[in-house]
């Protein structure tokens, strides 16, 4: 399922996958910047899969994944400036988005329970 198919919170901060709020990329990134960072993230994820037998290489590969996700705004300090807390990985029903989540159709909530990347 494409990222756009998951339910997105009205403020654009999160999408819901596998029943959890997942932080969206920073919308201030240019399309070119987002594409370059996403490419780095995919390369780092492939590296993680390749180096499973070397603990040192695996640590480096995981650090590269984390660095790319932070650069995209999906981890680390939040990219919004209104002081709202980070609710990443919360069940939307138990978050400040509970009313929004309850207002979605059954079909939309089912899509939000689907796991990203087929896991």
Examine the pLDDT at 119 and tell me if it is beyond 70.
no
Name the 3-class secondary structure at 67. Answer: helix
Q: What is the pLDDT of residues 32-59, one digit of tens each?
A: 999 999 999 999 999 998 888 888 889 9
| Backbone phi, psi, residue 60, to 5° | -65, -40
Examine the pLDDT at 25 and tell me if it is beyond 70.
yes
**pLDDT value at position 23?**
96
**pLDDT value at position 117?**
61
Examine the pLDDT at 116 and tell me if it is beyond 80.
no
The reported pTM is 0.84
Average pLDDT, the chain: 92
């Amino acid at each position: 399922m494409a990222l756009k198919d998951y339910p997105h919170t009205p403020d654009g901060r999160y999408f819901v996958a596998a029943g959890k709020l997942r932080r969206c990329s920073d919308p201030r990134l240019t399309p070119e910047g987002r594409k370059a960072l996403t490419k780095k993230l995919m390369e780092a994820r492939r590296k993680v899969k390749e180096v499973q037998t070397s603990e040192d290489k695996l640590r480096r590969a995981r650090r590269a994944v984390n660095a790319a996700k932070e650069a995209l705004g999906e981890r680390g300090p939040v990219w919004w400036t209104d002081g709202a807390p980070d609710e990443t990985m919360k069940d939307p029903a138990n978050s400040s988005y509970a009313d929004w989540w309850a207002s979605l159709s059954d079909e939309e909530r089912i899509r939000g329970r689907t796991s990203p990347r087929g896991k």
